[in-house]
Structure 1
């Protein structure tokens, strides 16, 4: 009779301890290149609507023939951000490609926090100007912090501006970032002022209506649009979509879930050709992301299972197995 085997478990503390931003950034480049080449794959993610605008999602994928495959089960509670709690909670399961055994269970909240920021940093590295030094971040939750820490790995940021709805929380966040990252960080009460002249902008809020306007954005800016994604929601306005070289993590995800893009599709203002490329195509050299210093580049982050799997594999490779807990399933 088959008895199963040991499943190694990474809790949140394990993930934060072992998964470095540098390793995860490299993993995101490789994963998205593999995805755009068709070597890595995932089925469209599905969401179950819950009360209060919350959701429960499931997604499955593979990093390619003979490589790991797995799934992610996750709850999305955007209101958690206002309470200082993660909005994404759940697990990632990795399976052995040789015999199909369940091999690892990984805390999805910590993994998602790092890999989302790492994916934005990887995109920033190929899309932002090399001389970018000013970073503006909208939001002060976990994704705001991980984005700052990840962006610092790819650009020599000299100043950071942070906007958030709660002034006191924004001030506390900015003070903590300045102290722990050793970069001046200024809380700003007005979004237009926060992004004025910024070289890199990250939107990490739960806003359902546009809070970032294209008319505020200077030529040459790079923007990572990251916040909570629903097909009717949008953090940015139509003008910004139209002005930017719009680059997707996954083209199909943008067409299905990016509210700011879908609304312009519906009214006929744009077609799907407004998506310049998937970021994987840029990594592969198939498409030029930034054509000149004056381009406004936009990376639309919706998240993809191959990113989770690649981050999980990087974590497993980095961690010492003797430090992990085991459970026999």
Structure 2
């Protein structure tokens, strides 16, 4: 009989902050680059029910001694029910025995680890003098993205656009809390002003065109994680120096899938962000370079932050326990 730790959503929000998530995600990206952590093939399917996408992401981080799987997906009608559209749970296993060790709520952690991923890219790739942050998308994850990004550079202003402009006030409120000027703009104006751009949508067509993006911009494209999704013009990836969390996902289900299928770039043109973290790649080559991070969302990110949640819960005597 094994004892399982259960760490619910409220506890995760209480003990895992942006700093903890950033450190965990940065460390696992570095471990991936060193060959000490690997993701297993992703299973992601349309259910044919409730317009939902459902799947599994799993992997093993030998450096961090973390093994597990995240199960969940995207239910677009959940917002009308007062629920988060993204629903997930992380299962952690003891790498030495295979026994289930923890069940960890994955909704909050998915949002905070996705924001940490783009923040890691900003920390390592954006120009040091970046002052204007552009936000494309104003859904549930956008406020997490804004808060995490704001800690990476001395931003003074946020410019934002969303296909549904009535959702933009949620970003305006956060910008005000952070002491940043806020302006709702067109996508073209966003490209003209922003030094760093985060896109976090579920779009299936380009929302930003290559010609709108200035030299020196850093983009973190965080919404494309399924075949067919698309947030930016494929020609932009041909202009940019492209980085990602995992190349295999980038070319198959990430933002790069379209540029690769069109022959504009190849897998060899995409660099894992872990190589920059570990010092094997210089990252930004010049102040005029456009850098683009294709954040596809790898299972190891989820396992990393869930493992932190489980460890902190044990240290603080939080969570419930059940026997299997």
TM-score (norm 1): 0.91
Q: CA deviation at 1:266?
A: 2.8
Deviations 1:166-200 (A, max 9, x none): 22321x21332134323222223x11112322111
Q: Distance in 2 between matches of 1:216 and 1:40?
A: 37
Q: CA deviation at 1:114?
A: 0.3
Structure 1 runs of 4+ with >4 Å offset: 78-85
SS in 1 for 2:71: strand
What is the match of residue 138 of structure 1?
A: 136
What is the match of residue 323 of structure 2?
A: 328
Q: CA deviation at 1:272?
A: 2.2
What is the correspondence of 1:228-243 to structure 2 with a 5 Å cutoff?
Answer: 228-243=224-239
What is the match of residue 76 of structure 1?
A: 74
Q: Distance in 2 between matches of 1:49 and 1:78?
A: 12
TM-score (norm 2): 0.93
What is the match of residue 262 of structure 1?
A: 257
Q: Is the deviation greater in 73-82 or in 21-30?
A: 73-82
SS in 2 for 1:323: coil
Q: Distance in 2 between matches of 1:49 and 1:191?
A: 30
What is the match of residue 246 of structure 1?
A: 242
What is the match of residue 44 of structure 1?
A: 41
Task: Establish whether residue 115 from structure 1 lines up as the match of residue 109 from structure 2.
Answer: no
Pair 1:69–1:132, CA change in 2 (3 A) = same
Pair 1:253–1:9, CA change in 2 (3 A) = same
Task: Establish whether residue 218 from structure 1 lines up as the match of residue 214 from structure 2.
Answer: yes
Q: CA deviation at 1:81?
A: 6.7
RMSD, aligned α-carbons = 2.0
What is the correspondence of 1:22-41 to structure 2 with a 5 Å cutoff?
Answer: 22-41=19-38
SS in 2 for 1:196: helix
Task: Establish whether residue 290 from structure 1 lines up as the match of residue 287 from structure 2.
Answer: no
Task: Establish whether residue 208 from structure 1 lines up as the match of residue 196 from structure 2.
Answer: no
Pair 1:271–1:165, CA change in 2 (3 A) = closer
SS in 2 for 1:235: strand
Pair 1:247–1:208, CA change in 2 (3 A) = same
Task: Establish whether residue 307 from structure 1 lines up as the match of residue 301 from structure 2.
Answer: yes
Q: Is this contact kept in 1: 2:72–2:87, CA < 8 A? A: yes
What is the correspondence of 1:47-58 to structure 2 with a 5 Å cutoff?
Answer: 47-51=44-48, 53-58=51-56
Q: Distance in 2 between matches of 1:268 and 1:178?
A: 39
Q: Which runs of 5+ in 2 are unaligned?
A: none
Task: Establish whether residue 280 from structure 1 lines up as the match of residue 274 from structure 2.
Answer: yes
2:172 to 159, 175, 183: 175
Q: Is this contact kept in 2: 1:84–1:141, CA < 8 A? A: no
Q: Is this contact kept in 2: 1:197–1:217, CA < 8 A? A: no
Q: CA deviation at 1:132?
A: 1.0
Task: Establish whether residue 12 from structure 1 lines up as the match of residue 9 from structure 2.
Answer: yes
What is the match of residue 165 of structure 1?
A: 163
Q: Distance in 1 between matches of 2:153 and 2:78?
A: 30
Pair 1:310–1:207, CA change in 2 (3 A) = same
Q: Distance in 2 between matches of 1:135 and 1:84?
A: 29
Q: Which runs of 5+ in 1 are unaligned?
A: none
Q: Distance in 2 between matches of 1:73 and 1:39?
A: 23
Q: CA deviation at 1:239?
A: 1.9
Count of equivalent residues: 322
